[in-house]
Structure formats: structure tokens, C-alpha cells
């Protein structure tokens, strides 16, 4: 079942964000805007939900996903042995469209990283994305919300 919520991108309604968060926390997937494209997200630790992203996008399982976070402490849930250089880049470019490739935390399911020992992480600079992650209280795995190989829907 598809549900469409309208939300002001600059001043997101917390009620709408809460409904989207409830869908994610119940193992569903949600499309949401970032500052670059629309993402199709699932809670990163819900392996069955992450698999729904691959099915919806017809995405090959050997293509890893990007993880979105809303605050620096959340980075430690998905990455480990984070080098000082990464923190220097984070300080300058996050929130924003910079994705860092870092050593994967053991808690991150292999389906998210396509079995790689690394993980792609970013902090979006969009109020809706940041509020959604804040409400879920967990990182969200979210590639662009398009069919695999097709153009990404931009915001």
C-alpha cells in the first residue's frame, strides 16, 4: 500500500514525520527528500526492510547502499576505526552531499554493504531527512528513489 504525505520541505510537520518514522520502525520503506535527490529508505538494522529497497528498485544485490545519519554520534553505530581525516572532512562538509567510505561496524547487515567491509555514510542537508532520522533514532539506508539504472528523481 502506498501512502503519500505532503510536507513543507523547509518547515516539516512533525505529525507527518512521525507517521513516516512509524512506517520505518514497523519494517516499511519510505521515500523522502534530501538536498540532492529523493531517497528510498529503511532502518539500516532491519535487514528485511532493507531487502524491500532492493526489490522496489530492482537493484542488484551487489550494489551497496548509502547510510544517512543526522548527527555525528550516530556515525559510531555504522562505522568503526574512523580516521582523523574523516572528521576533518565532516567538520567542513556535513551536513551536505559528501559521502564518506569508512570501515563498516559489525552491526551493519551485509545486505546494506553488499558484503563489503566498508560502508558509505552521509549526513543530508535537508530538514525533512534530518527530522526523519532524528524521529527514527537510527541510521537510514537510502539510495535514490528510482528504478536501478534510471535517472534519479531530484529535489
In a domain? residue 79: yes
Q: So what's the pLDDT on residue 9?
A: 85
In a domain? residue 37: yes
Q: So what's the pLDDT on residue 144?
A: 94
Helix (H, G, I), strand (E, B) or coil at 55: helix
Entry pTM: 0.94
Domain count of the fold of the chain: 1
Among 100, 29, 117, 30, which residue's Cα sits nearest to residue 66?
Answer: 100
Q: So what's the pLDDT on residue 133?
A: 99
Query: What gap in Å lies between CA 41 and CA 29, rounded to an integer?
Result: 5
C-alpha to C-alpha distances, 44 to 11, 17, 77, 85, nearest whole angstrom: 25, 18, 10, 25
Among 15, 10, 43, 13, which residue's Cα sits nearest to residue 29?
Answer: 43
- Domain range enclosing 109: 14-142
> Residue 25: which CATH number?
3.90.870.10
Per-residue pLDDT of the chain (155 residues), as tens digits, is 788 888 888 889 999 999 999 999 999 999 999 999 999 999 999 999 999 999 999 999 999 999 999 999 999 999 999 999 999 999 999 999 999 999 999 999 999 999 999 999 999 999 999 999 999 999 999 999 989 888 888 87
In a domain? residue 149: no
Amino acid at each position: 500500500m502506498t501512502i503519500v504525505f505532503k510536507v513543507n520541505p523547509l518547515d516539516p510537520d512533525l505529525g507527518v514525520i512521525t507517521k513516516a518514522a512509524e512506517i520505518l520502525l514497523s519494517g516499511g520503506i519510505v521515500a523522502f527528500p534530501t538536498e540532492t535527490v529523493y531517497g528510498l529508505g529503511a532502518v539500516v538494522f532491519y535487514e528485511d526492510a532493507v531487502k524491500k529497497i532492493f526489490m522496489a528498485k530492482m537493484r542488484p544485490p551487489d550494489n551497496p547502499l548509502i547510510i544517512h545519519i543526522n548527527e555525528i554520534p550516530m556515525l559510531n553505530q555504522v562505522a568503526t576505526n574512523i580516521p582523523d581525516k574523516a572528521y576533518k572532512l565532516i567538520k567542513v562538509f556535513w551536513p551536505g552531499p559528501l559521502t564518506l567510505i569508512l570501515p563498516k561496524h559489525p552491526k551493519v547487515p551485509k545486505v546494506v554493504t553488499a558484503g563489503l567491509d566498508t560502508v558509505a555514510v552521509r549526513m543530508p542537508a535537508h530538514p525533512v531527512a534530518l527530522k526523519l532520522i532524528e524521529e527514527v533514532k537510527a541510521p537510514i539506508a537510502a539510495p535514490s528513489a528510482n528504478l536501478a539504472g534510471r535517472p534519479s528523481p531530484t529535489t
